């Protein structure tokens, strides 16, 4: 099964629970537009290489398409279609006026020089210029894409348009029209949701042990925020493996160590700290497992070995439908991606608004606007979960599709 097949399964399951009109299911099961581009780049060595890039625009009934760009050697069209569909659902879960899209280039950016990376990024923008824009489709960062890359996108697009069009992309550095609070927005949004889960389940942070897979933008900020809020972080990992200490690790120390050495491995940031594989990390003793790396990390093969009682998806699609079923049977709560990581796109929405007004908010203002959006989204999803006695993921899709159905029917389906 491809990742997009998993997404369709999630749509179908929720649609069946809520008895959603079949026409709406049909529309939401097909992306509106799919683009594949070849990107020839003269490498520093003089060799000409052609990279493949994608942009999938899933649905824009709620507003302009919106979604990140991923640079990874395993990007493929099924993955981009799945991620674009989840973006439509995510924007609808938090009720922001944006649709869903996603982009990607098949490349391991670690093998490129900075000059090559910039050329590739600008070439991608040249190739998809007609399909993006502040009112049309607004990309953002995702795996392996940074604020600096977003600045190149904004600059290239503005050059092509012969005017400043900074709102073409979000997640930009502050100097280029970025928003305060965008850097850790995904994690902060996830924290606001976890806070509501904690209230609902009577969780005391000081007695709660957390393990986090992925120590990039989403995972590292989440580790810092949770440690600041009193949670005990026992383990973290990146693509090369992880570290775990039963008595807790020092997140600031890990962050500094990763910056210096490029990985969390070998970071001596806790008592009795041990080096483990990513597989082992997922199966360590803890109360909350936070998935902040890639999709398909917890599957039918390893779900049974997960010891956490709550799994929070900061990554997109880290738990497969089969693993979801196992967790449901074991009473493990999965806080789904389309709710848990929606803080990122919400602050991206704030960035577009600020760019349009050319008037900028403080970090406190951004957080004060983000928190109620996340809490309202949680309350709505939690109510739906109780209404249908379903999983939080199914409730998230129902919440999203109720809003999308109303918009589609109001505007017309054809």
Tell me the catalytic residues: 102
Using DSSP's 3-state secondary structure scheme, residue 197 falls into helix
User: What are the CA-CA distances from residue 232 to residues 190, 205, 256, 270 (Å)?
Assistant: 16, 8, 18, 12
Between the alpha carbon of residue 129 and those of residues 132, 156, 349, 400, the distances in Å are 6, 9, 20, 29
Identified binder of ligand NAD from the candidate list 31, 104, 141, 336, rule CB under 6 A? 141
The binder of ligand NAD chosen from 213, 245, 346, 354 (CB under 6 A): 213
Minimal distance in Å, beta carbon 223 to ligand NAD? 11
Asked if 4 interacts with ligand NAD (CB under 6 A), we say no
Alpha-carbon span 37 to 55, nearest angstrom: 9
Q: Tell me how many helices (H) and strands (E) the chain has.
A: 14, 12
364: its two tokens: 């406190």
Q: Between residue 328 and residue 347, which ones bind ligand NAD under the rule CB under 6 A?
A: 341, 344
Provide CB contacts within 8 A for 290, sequence distance 6+.
Answer: 190, 210, 211, 212, 213, 219, 222, 311, 312, 314
Query: Based on CB atoms, which residue is closest to ligand NAD, 13 or 341?
Result: 341
CB closer to ligand NAD, 15 vs 84: 84
In the three-class reduction of DSSP (H, G, I as helix; E, B as strand; rest coil), residue 244 is classed as strand
Among the candidate windows 139-147, 321-329, 361-369, 374-382, which touches ligand NAD by CB under 6 A? 139-147
For ligand NAD, the closer CB: 73 or 358: 73
At closest approach, how far in Å is the CB of 215 from ligand NAD?
A: 4
Q: Which residue has the tokens 């990742």?
A: 3
Integer Cα distance of 83 and 2 in angstroms: 12
By beta-carbon proximity to ligand NAD, the closer residue of 3 and 17 is: 3
**Min separation Cβ 26 and ligand NAD, Å:** 26
Angle formed by the axes of helices 392-411 and 77-93, to 10°?
80
Question: Among 59, 85, 88, 186, which residue interacts with ligand NAD (rule: CB under 6 A)?
Answer: 186
Residue labelled with tokens 């049909």? 26
Out of 64, 109, 147, 216, the residue judged to bind ligand NAD by CB under 6 A: 216
Window 307 to 326, contacts with ligand NAD (CB under 6 A): 314-316
The residues, ordered by sequence, that sit 6+ positions from 43 with a Cβ below 8 Å of its Cβ are 49, 116
Assess 294 for contact with ligand NAD (CB under 6 A): yes
**Does residue number 100 form part of the binding site for ligand NAD (CB under 6 A)?**
no
Q: Is 292 in the site for ligand NAD (CB under 6 A)?
A: yes
166 torsion bin: left (phi>0), alpha (psi -120 to 50), beta (else): alpha
- Least separation in angstroms between CB 344 and ligand NAD: 3
In the window 37-96, what residues touch ligand NAD (CB under 6 A)? none
Please say which residue, 18 or 172, places its beta carbon nearer to ligand NAD.
172
**Residue in the block written with tokens 């439908």:** 321
Interface with ligand NAD (CB under 6 A), residue from 4, 51, 215, 231 = 215
Binding residues for ligand NAD, rule: CB under 6 A, are 141-144, 186, 213-219, 237-239, 278, 292-294, 314-316, 341, 344
């Amino acid at each position: 099964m491809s990742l997009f097949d998993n997404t369709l399964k999630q749509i179908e399951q929720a649609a069946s629970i809520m008895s959603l009109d079949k026409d709406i299911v049909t529309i939401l099961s097909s992306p509106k537009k799919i683009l594949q581009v070849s990107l020839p780049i003269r490498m520093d060595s003089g060799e000409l290489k052609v990279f493949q890039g994608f942009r999938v625009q899933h649905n824009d009934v709620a507003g302009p398409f919106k979604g990140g760009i991923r640079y990874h050697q395993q990007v493929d069209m099924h993955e981009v279609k799945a991620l674009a569909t989840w973006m439509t659902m995510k924007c609808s879960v938090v009720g922001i006026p944006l649709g869903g899209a996603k982009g990607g280039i098949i490349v391991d950016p670690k093998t490129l020089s900075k000059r090559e990376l910039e050329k590739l990024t600008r070439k991608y923008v040249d190739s998809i210029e007609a399909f993006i824009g502040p009112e049309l489709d607004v990309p953002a960062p995702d795996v392996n894409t940074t604020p600096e890359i977003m600045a190149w996108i904004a600059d290239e697009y503005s050059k092509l348009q012969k005017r400043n069009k900074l709102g073409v992309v979000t997640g930009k550095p502050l100097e280029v029209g970025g928003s305060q609070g965008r850097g850790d927005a995904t994690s902060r949004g996830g924290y606001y949701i976890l806070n509501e889960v904690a209230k609902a389940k009577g969780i005391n942070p000081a007695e709660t042990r957390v393990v986090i897979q992925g120590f990039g933008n989403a995972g590292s900020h989440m580790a810092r925020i949770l440690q600041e809020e009193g949670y005990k972080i026992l383990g973290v990992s990146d693509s090369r493996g992880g570290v775990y200490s039963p008595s807790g690790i020092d997140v600031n120390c890990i962050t500094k160590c990763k910056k210096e050495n490029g990985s969390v491995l070998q970071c001596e940031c806790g008592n009795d700290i041990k080096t483990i594989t990513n597989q082992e990390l997922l199966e360590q003793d803890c109360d909350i497992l936070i998935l902040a790396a890639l999709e398909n990390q917890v599957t039918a093969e390893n779900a049974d070995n997960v010891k956490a009682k709550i799994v929070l998806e900061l990554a997109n699609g880290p738990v497969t439908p089969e693993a979801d079923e196992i967790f449901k049977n074991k009473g493990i709560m999965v806080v789904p991606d389309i709710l848990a990581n929606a803080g990122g796109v919400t602050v991206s929405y704030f960035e577009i608004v600020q760019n349009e007004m050319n008037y900028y908010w403080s970090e406190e203002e951004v957080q004060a606007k983000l928190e109620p959006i996340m809490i309202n989204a949680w309350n709505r999803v939690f109510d739906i979960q109780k209404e249908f006695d379903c999983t939080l993921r199914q409730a998230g899709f129902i919440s999203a599709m109720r809003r999308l159905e109303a918009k589609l029917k109001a505007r017309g389906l054809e």
